[in-house]
Copies of this chain bind each other. A is one copy, B any other.
Amino acid sequence: MREILKKLADGKISIKEAEKLIKSFQIKEIEDLAKFDLGREVRTGIPEVVLSIGKSPEKIAKIIKACGNKGLIITRLNESKYKKIVTKLPKNCEVRYYKEGRVMIVGKHEKVVEGHVGIITGGTADIPVAEEAKIILEEMGCKVSMVYDVGIAGIHRLFRYLRKLIKKNVQLLIVVAGMEGALPSVVAGLVDLPVIAVPTSVGYGAGGKGIAALLSMLQSCVPGVVVVNIDNGFGAAAFALKILKQINSPSSP
Where the two chains meet, the residues of A that have a C-beta atom closer than 8 Å to any C-beta of B are 3, 25, 27, 32-35, 37, 39-40, 43-46, 49, 51, 53-55, 59, 63, 114-116, 122-125, 127, 143, 148-157, 160-161, 169-172, 178-182, 185-186, 188-196, 199, 201-208, 210-232, 234-236, 238-239, 241-243, 245-248, 250-253
Minimal Cβ-Cβ distance residue in B for A236: B226
Taking a contact as CB atoms under 8 Å apart, the answer to whether B44 and A192 are in contact is: yes
Minimal Cβ-Cβ distance residue in B for A220: B180
Minimal Cβ-Cβ distance residue in B for A117: B253
* Further contacts, 14 of them, CB under 8 A, given A152-B189, A169-B252: A35-B148, A37-B153, A40-B154, A155-B155, A155-B190, A171-B253, A179-B219, A182-B182, A206-B214, A207-B219, A212-B216, A224-B235, A227-B228, A248-B253
Give the chain B neighbours of A245 by CB distance below 8 A.
192
Known: A27-B154, A116-B253, A230-B204. A216 touches B180 (CB 8 A): yes
What is the distance, in angstroms, from A124's C-beta to the closest C-beta of chain B?
A: 5
Known: A34-B124, A55-B125, A152-B189. A208 touches B204 (CB 8 A): no
What is the distance, in angstroms, from A224's C-beta to the closest C-beta of chain B?
A: 3
Minimal Cβ-Cβ distance residue in B for A245: B192
Minimal Cβ-Cβ distance residue in B for A45: B192
Inter-chain CA distance A181–B245, complex, in Å, is: 26
Taking a contact as CB atoms under 8 Å apart, the answer to whether A155 and B186 are in contact is: yes
B171, B219, B243, B253: the one contacting A180 at CB < 8 Å is B219
Inter-chain CA distance A252–B185, complex, in Å, is: 25
